A and B are shown apart, each in its own frame.
Chain A
Amino acid sequence: MFFLCAMAAGALSGLATAWLLRSKNSPNIDGLVNQISADLAASLASLPKPEPFLLPDEPPLPRNTRELIEEVNALVAELIKICPNNVDALEMKARAEDWQGKTKAAIATWEECLRLNPQYVHAYVGMAALAARAGEHEKAAELARKAMELDPTSFRARDILAESLINLQRPAEAVEVLEEFLRNDPRSRGFFLLGRAYSLLDQWEKAAQAYQAAVNKYPRYAEAYYALARVQRRLGQRKEAQETTAKYWELMKQREPTRQGMETAVDDFKEMSINGAILLTDIGRVYFAVGQFHRAERLWQRAAKLDPHNVPCRQLLATLCQRQGRLWEAVSWYRELTQIESDNPVNWLEIGQLFAGSLQFEEAEAAFSKACEVAPERPDGYAALVRLYLSSGRKVERAPQVARTLVTKAPTAENYVLLAASCEQTGDMEGALSALKHALQLAPQNQTYQRMYERLLAGKPSAASTTPSKDEK
């Protein structure tokens, strides 16, 4: 499982870019949101800022790659000692060896994993990846297929299998593997491989569709734009090919690092620290799984320091602090996450929930408003705001306006009920009835909504609130 988490981390930022396509077609609610969120920085800044929990024996951070490798090796050795015969701990060892270029040792450790647990999917995936890198495609395909038998949802195994089949000049089989899988788990890399497989089969229209799906899923996928442009040229779509090529260049230029002068000495410490942080985070997960929360937290904190942009370690720290009731520390980690993933509303929603839970209305409202601002097309932030207004009974007059925006973003029965509740709370009974009618049209069998509607028709006031609980769907 840890292997997958590490691999998925890189893709998260890409998926988030779908939210970049914002259309501010709700000027009223935008004004409201902006007004509230503009004060957020100051509002959060005024909060006490608890220092993250630090262990007293914390050693200094590594200063170079050599020290980093030594630290990771020592941590892996300690993990194996503390968790003997633990297959997840062995996975950490295999990954650390691979990270250092010791592929033979990594293969031996993966094999050891399989002796402990012959069903250990990640060992098959790890060995398949190494075989693929060495150009041993038959072996890679065999191992990846075994992994997929054990875990049909393993997208990494699927990708290795598909790519190996393509390299073995069996693109039709790759199509078979990919199409079935992508129906349930539509990921950009899978679509890219599908496009390649169709290209090798000279099915250019289907190749174009697959590459288009890849860039739709991940709009910063430069390689897919290039491949799409090639296919468009094959299809005689010169204008489209030119536009796609321009997009490719735009993305590739963003990838090239800007060189400030000519540095004479460079190394890979930054890059290695990023990978080291992923390893530390996952070693921490192993400790967490065996109940060693203290060690887990220490490693996650160290990972956060090694890589200022590592998301999973901060998510784990925030969740841990939240569960242990260390709310300010949780807020602190979520705040870091909002800076790293500036277009991800989830972190603002988490902050808002934490404030709402501790009855700090203004801060909660500001956080939910920020969630709306960073992802105006997503309904989550608006729904959270409406619930906040209705449940707290404060600024209820704002609720209908926000709820109307909410139903334009996501016209679900639940959201129409929220709008109905907002209207009722502000005395707009006609609006409430109209909204509930919509809700009933969308969920005609829902007895709760039916009772609400009948009560409103009868002109009875709400007993407490019309707001449905999250369970009343």
Chain B
Amino acid sequence: MEANNFPVTSSSGLRILARPAFAGLFLLWATGSVFLRAAEPKISFRDVTFRTGIKFQHTDGSTGRRHIVETVASGLATFDYDGDGLIDIYFLNGAPLDEPRPTVLPRNALYRNLGGFQFREVTHQAAVGDTGYGLGVAVGDFDNDGFPDVYISNYGANVFYRNNGDGTFTDITPQTGTASAHPEKAGAGTSFLDFDGDGDLDLYVANYLAFSPRMGITNSWRGIPIYPDPSRFRHWPDQLFRNNGEGTFTDISREAGVDRHQGRGMGMVCADFDNDGDTDVFVASDGPPGNSLLINDGQGHFEDIAMLAGVAFDSAGLAHGAMGADCGDYDNDGWLDLYVTSYQGQWATLYRNLGGALFDDVTQATGAGAGSLNHVTWGCNFVDFDNDGDRDIFYGCGHLIDNIELLDDSTSLEAPPVLLVNTGRGTFVNASASAGELTQVKAVARGVAFDDLDNDGKVDVVILSSRRPPVVLQTDASANNSWVHLHLQGTRTNRDGVGARVKVAAGKLVQIAEVHSGRGYQSHYGTRLHFGLGAHSRIDRIEVRWIGGGVDVWENLPAHRQIVLREGSPDWIEIGRLR
């Protein structure tokens, strides 16, 4: 059947309103309207986990032997698996690493969003309960059938689930050739991207290191056993799989040049960092030799320019124990900036994209590292929580040494996440203390996902907490700013518009974003793009540059809506609840 991700009617009461739109390519930006910036709104979060019905409990499989893989589990994904217009949640889980293994194994869990922050577990029905050791996940419609598929990066063999379009999935790992099944391979972040612009999604798989419980590598600090550090393990090279277009993939890691980096990969994000129209790759690295920024020549070859570009290290030339990574245009200058979380004692780092393959570590200049020094920091993103037209920063915290409080009382295992509000003047302010229940959250964060779970126009947060239940945060903001959700639909290019660059102009407020698959700390979220519009009630112009395709422009669109933009179509489709 032909998929339509946007139901005419749905249990959540959404409705489709087809509207004519002014279409046209390469039109001049409207410049007459006044830039309407909202007053400083207050952002607050409410912990609604208890009423979500989510019973998931993460395990890292630990038995006290302190295997390094346990410290980095796991990511999660938020995506609309059943096309009902509500974002669902898929949690990865760890698994026992030592023998004897229990007869009932922990498994990943899929929760269907019923609306109103109510979720129901559908893992069994959907057949996505992998029992491998889950580390990273990406979602992408690799076969362009309109249903998002799921790829999981494990310790050991990876798993590829094809979405059947009827609420179920099929494990197609063997036929795709993407298992990367070496038993000592510990995976990391993974992303779908169309690196060659041929209209179907390829797959980048970052890897962490070579590990086996039999290695018996131990460590102690101040006389107390702790987890070993990654430098004791050999790195495992990253992989790039080209989509052959008929359900199979080919490993082209070597010829593409992605297997050369010696870093121990963690979170990653694929985006057009040099504004040349193709998708590049950033992989965070846990320690030396630093992060990698692989620039795509558009022909399937990548060159690591992280060192020259200034994103391999911090401003002092130190390779961080980098964890999560995401990108966004925090200063609305048309270039995607990078945010990279890291180990205790190191700033979570903001790299400003200056253009010309040059970034500047502006952490100190902007205050974007606030709250991070005495914690290990993980999933992160640039999100406009208050819809004021600039992107704030949110990151999760939680130590990876489970007995850290015996060793260092300046930090803690559990820690609240951090909200840094964008002042609109190129700086950030730590607003966690005034963000509702945020400081009451006690999580051991790993993956953090950002999506509007209740379709109210504000981006909510889900935190996967190691060895604990997850945390679901409902977002609210005092100001009633405008917003828009954009769902891209490729027709000639990949179906979900992964990699497409979107420019939204409302008055003088001009913002960019891209659709990214697999990001943050080994997680997936945000396929549906969110833009805050401040006090603007209408959007003057939206321009979409499709990966491997052309540019489409739509004009004069309403705010407070979910809008579908279909490639090559002058019309746009509105889904949403009018406010």
Contacts and interface: CB of A to CB of B under 8 A. Distances in A.
Interface of A: 64-66, 68-69, 100-104, 130, 133-135, 166-167, 169, 171, 192, 196, 199-200, 222-223, 225-227, 230, 233-234, 245, 248, 252, 256, 262-268, 272
A255 B367 CA distance: 30
Contact of B218 (A100, A169, A264): A264
A262 B232 contact: yes
Given A135-B370, A227-B315, A230-B315, A103 B410 contact: yes
A69 B223 contact: yes
Contact of B222 (A103, A171, A192, A268): A268
B310 interface: yes
A200 B365 contact: yes
Interface stretch (B25-33, B152-160, B371-379, B484-492): B371-379
A272 B222 contact: yes
B221 A267 contact: yes
A354 B310 CA distance: 53
Given A135-B370, A169-B367, A171-B365, 11 more contacts: A100-B222, A101-B407, A225-B317, A227-B316, A227-B317, A233-B310, A234-B358, A245-B307, A248-B317, A266-B218, A267-B223
A-B residue pairs, 6 tightest by C-beta: A226-B317, A66-B223, A135-B373, A101-B408, A65-B223, A267-B220
B364 A166 contact: yes
Given A69-B223, A226-B316, A233-B358, A102 B310 contact: no
B317 A102 contact: no
A265 B374 CA distance: 27
Nearest to B290: A252
A343 B318 CA distance: 28
B316 A135 contact: no
B217 A167 contact: no
Contacts of A272: 222
A69 B222 contact: yes
B317 A103 contact: no
Given A134-B373, A264-B215, A223 B318 contact: yes
A227 B407 CA distance: 33
B427 interface: yes
A68 B223 CA distance: 9
A363 B337 CA distance: 65
B313 A226 contact: yes
Nearest to A100: B222
B216 A264 contact: yes
A268 B215 CA distance: 20
A385 to B, nearest CB: 43
B365 A134 contact: no
Nearest to B233: A262
Interface in B342-380: 345, 358, 360, 364-367, 369-374
A223 B317 contact: yes
A163 B222 CA distance: 28
B288 interface: yes
A459 to B, nearest CB: 66
A248 B315 CA distance: 13
A268 B307 CA distance: 31
Given A64-B223, A225-B317, A226-B316, A133 B374 contact: yes
Interface of B: 215-223, 228, 232, 288, 307-308, 310, 313, 315-318, 345, 358, 360, 364-367, 369-374, 407-410, 427
A403 to B, nearest CB: 46
Given A264-B218, A267-B221, A130 B288 contact: no
Contacts of B317: 222-223, 225-227, 248, 252
B403 to A, nearest CB: 12
Contacts, number: 96
Given A166-B364, A200-B365, A264-B216, A103 B409 contact: yes
A167 B410 contact: no
Given A135-B371, A200-B365, A101 B410 contact: yes
A85 to B, nearest CB: 27
Nearest to B365: A200
A268 B216 CA distance: 18
Contact of B217 (A196, A230, A264): A264
A64 B367 CA distance: 41
A167 B315 CA distance: 13
B314 to A, nearest CB: 9
A65 B222 contact: yes
Given A65-B220, A101-B409, A200 B364 contact: yes
Contacts of A248: 317
Contact of A268 (B220, B308, B409): B220
Nearest to B288: A256
B410 A133 contact: yes
Contacts of A166: 364
Given A101-B410, A134-B410, A196-B315, A267 B219 contact: yes
A167 B228 CA distance: 31
Nearest to A230: B310
Nearest to B367: A169
Contact of A101 (B216, B222, B232, B316): B222
Contacts of A263: 232
B397 to A, nearest CB: 12
A86 to B, nearest CB: 26
A135 B218 contact: no
Contacts of A66: 223
Contact of B316 (A100, A200, A223): A223
15 contacts: A69-B223, A100-B222, A101-B408, A101-B410, A103-B410, A133-B345, A135-B373, A169-B427, A171-B365, A192-B316, A199-B315, A223-B316, A245-B307, A248-B317, A265-B218
A34 to B, nearest CB: 39
Nearest to A242: B308
Chain A CB count within 10 A is highest, among B221, B364, B366, B374, for B364
Contacts of A167: 364, 369
A169 B364 contact: yes
Nearest to B358: A233
Contacts of A226: 313, 316-317
Nearest to B310: A230
A216 B118 CA distance: 63
A267 B369 CA distance: 30
Contacts of B316: 192, 223, 226-227
Contacts of A100: 222
Nearest to B234: A262
Contacts of A262: 215, 217, 232
Contacts of B367: 169
Among B313, B345, B371, find the residue whose CB has the most chain A CB atoms closer than 10 A: B313
B111 to A, nearest CB: 35
B232 A266 contact: yes
B310 A134 contact: no
Contacts of A65: 220-223
A11 B220 CA distance: 28
A135 B365 CA distance: 15
A135 B409 contact: no
Contacts of A199: 315
B400 to A, nearest CB: 16
Contacts of A264: 215-218
A76 to B, nearest CB: 16
Nearest to A241: B308
A230 to B, nearest CB: 6
A135 B223 contact: no
Given A69-B223, A226-B313, A264-B218, A196 B410 contact: no
A275 to B, nearest CB: 11
A347 B228 CA distance: 41
Nearest to A222: B317
A326 B114 CA distance: 86
Name, among A68, A192, A264, the residue most crowded by chain B CB atoms within 10 Å (CB to CB).
A264
A256 B231 CA distance: 10
Contacts of B219: 265-267
